[in-house]
Structure 1
Amino acid sequence: MRCPYCSHEDSQVKDSRPTEDGASIRRRRQCEDCGARFTTFERVQLRELTVVKSDESREPFDRAKLERAIAIACRKRPVEAARLERLITGIQRQIETSGESEVTSARIGQMLMEGLKGIDTVAYIRFASVYKDFAEAKDFEDFAGQVADAGRE
């Protein structure tokens, strides 16, 4: 494993343990050159996944993009990090176990919206504003009204 501080190729594993959800292994490492310590996470990858974008371009699936999108939507919201991690892991598992090697970005966006809907209404609306490309305040108002109406049912 390459050191993130000095880019030395070798590091020594000092400690390994499963994460809380059991979906990955957390490893504490120490660079053999500069002595810096850092943490890595190891996850099982069932298959190589490709994301088909709306313009038909393709790129490899990147879990970090899911993490960033959810982090932005949930910024300054009282949502536990563990709950978000479970959401991300659940979405990734659904995609990997679907049997398909390609998934559309629209499908991933829909899965994220469904997950956020059950976690935090504000984060759900924030994500929807980007995902659905709201152009003006009226779009927010209409969508928030739909969410509020659904919550009353």
Structure 2
Amino acid sequence: MKCPFCGHPETQVAETRVSEDGDFIRRRRRCGACDKRFTTYERPEVNFPAIVKKDGRRVEFDHQKLHGSFKLALRKRPVSVEQIDAAIERIEEKLLNLGQREVLSARLGELVMRELKKLDKVAYIRFASVYRSFEDIDDFRALVDEVRPQK
């Protein structure tokens, strides 16, 4: 790695430490030419597929937007932060495992609905009513009947 002070192309690693949570590696380096020290951080690079919206626009996958959708659907519902994080993690893992550069927003919406259905039926209906743009009460009734336990 090139020295940020003098631009010398060769530096040596003096010390390596893994972060407490294991998300990155911190390296102290020393320049062979000017003898100055500097720190670098090594993190894994993860490329999520682009999301193709209904109107054809392409946007970057946004973890915060996904998290916000879950929080909104699960507002005042008895679901823990850990359960939400695990659901989001499963969705992100599925997106990465698809191995595609682009994913339709409809596919992402279906993944979200599947996870919400497992977590909380009311949150599932909240999300689905907006996501599927319900027009009348019959749409709600059909969805409620879908999640209602059979006798």
TM-score by length of 1: 0.68
Structure 2 counterpart of 1:103: 103
**Offset of 1:146 from its aligned partner?**
2.0
**Offset of 1:48 from its aligned partner?**
4.4
Distance in 2, Cα, partners of 1:70 & 1:106: 16
Identity of aligned residues (%): 38
**Offset of 1:97 from its aligned partner?**
2.1
Determine if contact 2:48/2:95 at 8 Å carries over to the other structure: no
Distance in 1, Cα, partners of 2:129 & 2:112: 13
Distance in 2, Cα, partners of 1:57 & 1:84: 28
**Offset of 1:136 from its aligned partner?**
2.4
Amino acid in the other structure paired with 1:98: L
Structure 2 counterpart of 1:84: 84
Distance in 1, Cα, partners of 2:45 & 2:63: 11
Q: Matches of residues 4-153 of structure 1 in structure 2 within 5 Å?
A: 17-18=20-21, 44-148=44-148, 151-152=149-150
Specify the SS of the correspondent of 2:98. coil
Specify the SS of the correspondent of 1:17. coil
Specify the SS of the correspondent of 1:152. coil
Specify the SS of the correspondent of 2:51. strand
Distance in 2, Cα, partners of 1:48 & 1:78: 30
- Structure 1 residue runs of 5 or longer lacking an equivalent are 1-15, 26-42
TM-score by length of 2: 0.69
Q: CA 1:139 to 1:44, structure 2 compared with 1: closer, same or farther past 3 Å? A: farther
Specify the SS of the correspondent of 1:130. helix
Number of aligned positions between the proteins = 115
- Over the residues paired in the alignment, what is the CA RMSD in angstroms? 2.0
**Offset of 1:17 from its aligned partner?**
3.2
Distance in 2, Cα, partners of 1:109 & 1:50: 14
- Structure 2 residue runs of 5 or longer lacking an equivalent are 1-18, 25-42
